[in-house]
Structure 1
Amino acid sequence: MTRFEIIAAIAAPPRRVFDLSLAIETHTVSMAGSGERVIGGVCSGRMKLGDTVTWQARHFGFRWRMTSVISVYDPPGHFVDEQVEARSSAGATSTTSSQTGTAEPSCETSSTSPHRLDRSALLPNA
Protein backbone atom coordinates (compact mmCIF):
# COMPACT_ATOMS: atom_id res chain seq x y z
CA MET A 1 0.00 0.00 0.00
CA THR A 2 1.24 3.48 -0.89
CA ARG A 3 0.55 6.48 1.30
CA PHE A 4 0.44 10.01 -0.10
CA GLU A 5 0.61 13.00 2.22
CA ILE A 6 0.43 16.64 1.15
CA ILE A 7 0.84 19.49 3.62
CA ALA A 8 0.31 23.07 2.49
CA ALA A 9 0.31 26.45 4.23
CA ILE A 10 -2.50 28.58 2.83
CA ALA A 11 -3.11 32.29 3.44
CA ALA A 12 -6.82 31.87 4.14
CA PRO A 13 -8.99 30.99 7.12
CA PRO A 14 -9.75 27.27 7.66
CA ARG A 15 -13.45 27.68 6.68
CA ARG A 16 -12.52 29.14 3.27
CA VAL A 17 -10.04 26.32 2.65
CA PHE A 18 -12.62 23.73 3.78
CA ASP A 19 -15.25 25.14 1.41
CA LEU A 20 -12.88 25.33 -1.58
CA SER A 21 -11.57 21.81 -0.90
CA LEU A 22 -15.11 20.46 -1.33
CA ALA A 23 -15.94 22.50 -4.45
CA ILE A 24 -16.27 20.45 -7.64
CA GLU A 25 -15.03 23.39 -9.75
CA THR A 26 -11.87 23.82 -7.64
CA HIS A 27 -11.03 20.13 -8.03
CA THR A 28 -11.67 20.20 -11.78
CA VAL A 29 -9.37 23.21 -12.28
CA SER A 30 -6.64 21.71 -10.07
CA MET A 31 -6.73 18.44 -12.05
CA ALA A 32 -6.96 19.97 -15.54
CA GLY A 33 -3.66 18.37 -16.55
CA SER A 34 -5.19 14.90 -16.27
CA GLY A 35 -8.45 15.88 -17.95
CA GLU A 36 -10.37 14.90 -14.81
CA ARG A 37 -14.10 15.44 -15.25
CA VAL A 38 -17.33 14.53 -13.51
CA ILE A 39 -19.30 11.72 -15.14
CA GLY A 40 -21.81 11.06 -12.33
CA GLY A 41 -23.15 12.27 -8.99
CA VAL A 42 -22.67 15.86 -7.81
CA CYS A 43 -21.64 17.88 -10.89
CA SER A 44 -21.11 21.36 -9.43
CA GLY A 45 -20.99 23.32 -6.21
CA ARG A 46 -19.72 22.28 -2.79
CA MET A 47 -20.07 18.68 -1.68
CA LYS A 48 -21.50 17.80 1.75
CA LEU A 49 -21.95 14.71 3.91
CA GLY A 50 -23.25 11.75 1.91
CA ASP A 51 -22.64 13.31 -1.53
CA THR A 52 -21.05 11.10 -4.18
CA VAL A 53 -19.17 11.98 -7.33
CA THR A 54 -17.72 9.84 -10.12
CA TRP A 55 -14.64 11.19 -11.88
CA GLN A 56 -12.92 10.05 -15.03
CA ALA A 57 -9.31 11.03 -15.67
CA ARG A 58 -6.06 9.99 -17.26
CA HIS A 59 -3.30 9.18 -14.75
CA PHE A 60 -0.02 7.38 -15.49
CA GLY A 61 -1.09 7.02 -19.14
CA PHE A 62 -4.33 5.16 -18.31
CA ARG A 63 -7.96 6.26 -18.09
CA TRP A 64 -9.38 5.80 -14.59
CA ARG A 65 -12.90 5.94 -13.20
CA MET A 66 -13.23 6.74 -9.49
CA THR A 67 -16.35 7.16 -7.34
CA SER A 68 -16.11 8.67 -3.89
CA VAL A 69 -18.43 9.73 -1.08
CA ILE A 70 -18.01 12.39 1.59
CA SER A 71 -18.18 10.05 4.60
CA VAL A 72 -17.06 12.51 7.32
CA TYR A 73 -18.05 16.19 7.28
CA ASP A 74 -16.94 18.32 10.24
CA PRO A 75 -16.66 21.99 9.20
CA PRO A 76 -14.54 23.96 9.23
CA GLY A 77 -11.66 21.64 9.88
CA HIS A 78 -12.07 18.08 8.63
CA PHE A 79 -13.67 15.89 5.97
CA VAL A 80 -13.07 12.43 4.51
CA ASP A 81 -13.46 11.64 0.82
CA GLU A 82 -13.76 7.84 0.62
CA GLN A 83 -13.51 5.84 -2.60
CA VAL A 84 -16.45 3.46 -2.82
CA GLU A 85 -16.49 2.28 -6.44
CA ALA A 86 -15.30 -1.35 -6.66
CA ARG A 87 -13.36 -0.64 -9.86
CA SER A 88 -11.19 2.07 -8.28
CA SER A 89 -8.24 1.88 -5.93
CA ALA A 90 -9.19 1.40 -2.29
CA GLY A 91 -8.68 4.20 0.16
CA ALA A 92 -9.93 7.37 1.73
CA THR A 93 -8.47 10.86 1.70
CA SER A 94 -8.65 12.62 5.04
CA THR A 95 -8.30 16.42 4.83
CA THR A 96 -7.77 18.55 7.92
CA SER A 97 -7.39 22.34 8.07
CA SER A 98 -6.31 24.16 11.22
CA GLN A 99 -5.53 27.75 12.19
CA THR A 100 -1.79 28.50 12.20
CA GLY A 101 -1.93 30.88 15.15
CA THR A 102 -0.76 33.93 13.22
CA ALA A 103 -2.52 37.29 13.21
CA GLU A 104 -3.22 36.91 9.49
CA PRO A 105 -6.02 34.59 8.36
CA SER A 106 -4.08 31.47 7.45
CA CYS A 107 -4.18 27.75 8.01
CA GLU A 108 -2.27 24.58 7.36
CA THR A 109 -4.09 21.84 5.50
CA SER A 110 -3.05 18.21 5.37
CA SER A 111 -4.38 15.46 3.10
CA THR A 112 -3.45 11.83 3.73
CA SER A 113 -4.43 9.08 1.33
CA PRO A 114 -3.46 5.37 1.53
CA HIS A 115 -4.02 3.56 -1.77
CA ARG A 116 -3.26 0.29 -3.46
CA LEU A 117 -3.22 -0.15 -7.21
CA ASP A 118 -6.19 -2.13 -8.44
CA ARG A 119 -5.80 -2.99 -12.13
CA SER A 120 -9.58 -3.25 -12.52
CA ALA A 121 -9.71 0.54 -12.09
CA LEU A 122 -7.97 0.96 -15.43
CA LEU A 123 -10.12 1.57 -18.48
CA PRO A 124 -9.05 0.89 -22.07
CA ASN A 125 -7.04 3.77 -23.54
CA ALA A 126 -9.40 5.55 -25.87
Structure 2
Amino acid sequence: MSTSIAAKEAFEFLNAGMKQHFRGYGDTTTAARDRAAKDAGVTPAQAERLWKNWKTMKHPNGDVYRQLRNRYGHLCSWIENVADRIERQRQEIEETDAIDQSHSPSGEGVVRVAQGAAERETMK
Protein backbone atom coordinates (compact mmCIF):
# COMPACT_ATOMS: atom_id res chain seq x y z
CA MET A 1 0.00 0.00 0.00
CA SER A 2 1.29 3.40 -0.90
CA THR A 3 0.32 6.59 0.81
CA SER A 4 -0.98 9.43 -1.31
CA ILE A 5 1.19 12.53 -0.98
CA ALA A 6 -1.95 14.70 -0.94
CA ALA A 7 -3.49 12.56 1.81
CA LYS A 8 -0.32 12.82 3.90
CA GLU A 9 -0.18 16.61 3.40
CA ALA A 10 -3.88 16.99 4.27
CA PHE A 11 -3.30 14.94 7.43
CA GLU A 12 -0.35 17.18 8.39
CA PHE A 13 -2.43 20.32 7.74
CA LEU A 14 -5.17 18.92 9.97
CA ASN A 15 -2.60 18.11 12.68
CA ALA A 16 -1.24 21.66 12.60
CA GLY A 17 -4.74 23.04 13.06
CA MET A 18 -5.40 20.53 15.82
CA LYS A 19 -2.29 21.69 17.71
CA GLN A 20 -3.52 25.28 17.51
CA HIS A 21 -6.97 24.35 18.84
CA PHE A 22 -5.80 21.97 21.59
CA ARG A 23 -6.80 23.48 24.93
CA GLY A 24 -4.54 21.47 27.20
CA TYR A 25 -5.37 19.31 30.18
CA GLY A 26 -8.85 17.80 29.95
CA ASP A 27 -9.19 18.39 26.22
CA THR A 28 -9.17 15.52 23.75
CA THR A 29 -7.43 15.26 20.42
CA THR A 30 -10.77 14.39 18.82
CA ALA A 31 -12.38 17.60 20.08
CA ALA A 32 -9.37 19.65 18.97
CA ARG A 33 -9.49 17.95 15.56
CA ASP A 34 -13.19 18.75 15.19
CA ARG A 35 -12.61 22.41 16.13
CA ALA A 36 -9.76 22.63 13.63
CA ALA A 37 -11.93 21.04 10.94
CA LYS A 38 -14.78 23.48 11.56
CA ASP A 39 -12.32 26.38 11.51
CA ALA A 40 -11.05 25.21 8.10
CA GLY A 41 -14.58 24.71 6.75
CA VAL A 42 -14.40 20.93 6.78
CA THR A 43 -17.01 18.76 8.49
CA PRO A 44 -15.94 16.71 11.50
CA ALA A 45 -16.90 13.56 9.57
CA GLN A 46 -14.52 14.47 6.72
CA ALA A 47 -11.76 15.20 9.21
CA GLU A 48 -12.36 11.88 10.97
CA ARG A 49 -12.21 9.98 7.66
CA LEU A 50 -8.92 11.68 6.80
CA TRP A 51 -7.58 11.11 10.33
CA LYS A 52 -8.32 7.39 10.32
CA ASN A 53 -7.59 6.51 6.70
CA TRP A 54 -4.84 8.84 5.48
CA LYS A 55 -2.28 6.02 5.19
CA THR A 56 -4.47 3.92 2.90
CA MET A 57 -6.26 6.66 0.94
CA LYS A 58 -5.61 6.80 -2.78
CA HIS A 59 -6.51 10.49 -2.65
CA PRO A 60 -8.34 12.81 -0.26
CA ASN A 61 -11.39 14.81 -1.23
CA GLY A 62 -10.12 17.80 -3.23
CA ASP A 63 -12.24 20.32 -1.32
CA VAL A 64 -11.03 18.97 2.02
CA TYR A 65 -7.42 19.19 0.90
CA ARG A 66 -7.85 22.73 -0.47
CA GLN A 67 -9.63 24.02 2.64
CA LEU A 68 -7.08 22.51 5.01
CA ARG A 69 -4.19 23.83 2.90
CA ASN A 70 -5.68 27.34 2.83
CA ARG A 71 -6.24 27.33 6.59
CA TYR A 72 -2.68 26.10 7.12
CA GLY A 73 -1.43 28.99 4.98
CA HIS A 74 -3.35 31.47 7.13
CA LEU A 75 -1.95 29.83 10.28
CA CYS A 76 1.60 30.17 8.95
CA SER A 77 1.02 33.82 8.05
CA TRP A 78 -0.34 34.51 11.52
CA ILE A 79 2.69 32.88 13.15
CA GLU A 80 5.08 34.84 10.92
CA ASN A 81 3.32 38.12 11.74
CA VAL A 82 3.58 37.42 15.47
CA ALA A 83 7.26 36.53 15.08
CA ASP A 84 7.89 39.77 13.16
CA ARG A 85 6.14 41.79 15.87
CA ILE A 86 8.20 40.11 18.59
CA GLU A 87 11.40 40.78 16.62
CA ARG A 88 10.50 44.49 16.27
CA GLN A 89 9.86 44.67 20.02
CA ARG A 90 13.20 42.99 20.69
CA GLN A 91 15.00 45.49 18.49
CA GLU A 92 13.26 48.40 20.21
CA ILE A 93 14.30 47.06 23.60
CA GLU A 94 17.91 46.64 22.45
CA GLU A 95 17.93 50.17 21.03
CA THR A 96 16.49 51.52 24.26
CA ASP A 97 19.10 49.64 26.28
CA ALA A 98 21.87 50.98 24.03
CA ILE A 99 20.58 54.51 24.49
CA ASP A 100 20.37 54.02 28.25
CA GLN A 101 23.97 52.78 28.32
CA SER A 102 25.31 55.89 26.59
CA HIS A 103 26.19 58.89 28.72
CA SER A 104 24.17 61.74 27.29
CA PRO A 105 24.03 64.83 29.47
CA SER A 106 21.02 66.19 27.60
CA GLY A 107 18.75 63.27 28.57
CA GLU A 108 17.98 62.16 25.01
CA GLY A 109 17.65 58.53 26.09
CA VAL A 110 14.87 59.30 28.56
CA VAL A 111 12.93 61.15 25.89
CA ARG A 112 13.31 58.28 23.39
CA VAL A 113 12.19 55.71 25.97
CA ALA A 114 9.09 57.78 26.70
CA GLN A 115 8.38 58.13 22.98
CA GLY A 116 8.79 54.37 22.47
CA ALA A 117 6.40 53.64 25.31
CA ALA A 118 3.85 56.04 23.84
CA GLU A 119 4.19 54.40 20.42
CA ARG A 120 3.71 50.92 21.89
CA GLU A 121 0.56 52.06 23.66
CA THR A 122 -0.92 53.38 20.42
CA MET A 123 -0.12 50.07 18.64
CA LYS A 124 -2.22 48.02 21.08
Q: Fold conserved (TM > 0.5)?
A: no
Structure richer in strand, relative to its length: 1
More helix by share: 2
TM-score by length of structure 1 reads: 0.25
- Normalised to the residue count of structure 2, the TM-score between the two structures is 0.25
Q: Which has the larger radius of gyration?
A: 2
